[in-house]
Amino acid sequence: MTDPALAIHVERTASPGVLRWVCRRPDLDDTPVPPSGSQLERLISDGVVTSLAVCDGDLLLHVAPDTTSNVAHLHDAVVDALRTGNWLPTPEWTRVTIRRSTAPL
């Protein structure tokens, strides 16, 4: 039996300005700081992402009201950040699969 893969997908929440990336990453700090120089860090600097939070291993992004329509751009930044820097999976996670859905949100 192979080790389970880690998948990530984005969901809308009850709050229109909050998007949840379901990744079930217990290693994420409750007060995450995106990797330095990452696309996600630039989105924060530009005011597109107003804050980050982690809830039960999922990443929550609070975004500016006019940016929720560009979820693909936000998703790419989150995936990039999760693949690099201090957000890498812990060693017991031997295989990571990040899939991008082509279905409209």
> What confidence tens digit (pLDDT) does each residue in 20-58 have?
998 888 777 777 788 888 899 999 999 999 999 988 888
Rounded Cα distance between 29 and 94, Å, is 20
What separation in angstroms does the CA of 9 have from each of 6, 21, 46? 10, 6, 24
**Average pLDDT, rounded, for the chain:** 77
Domain ranges of the chain: 9-87
> Would you state the pLDDT for residue 4?
33
What separation in angstroms does the CA of 65 have from each of 17, 28, 91? 6, 26, 37
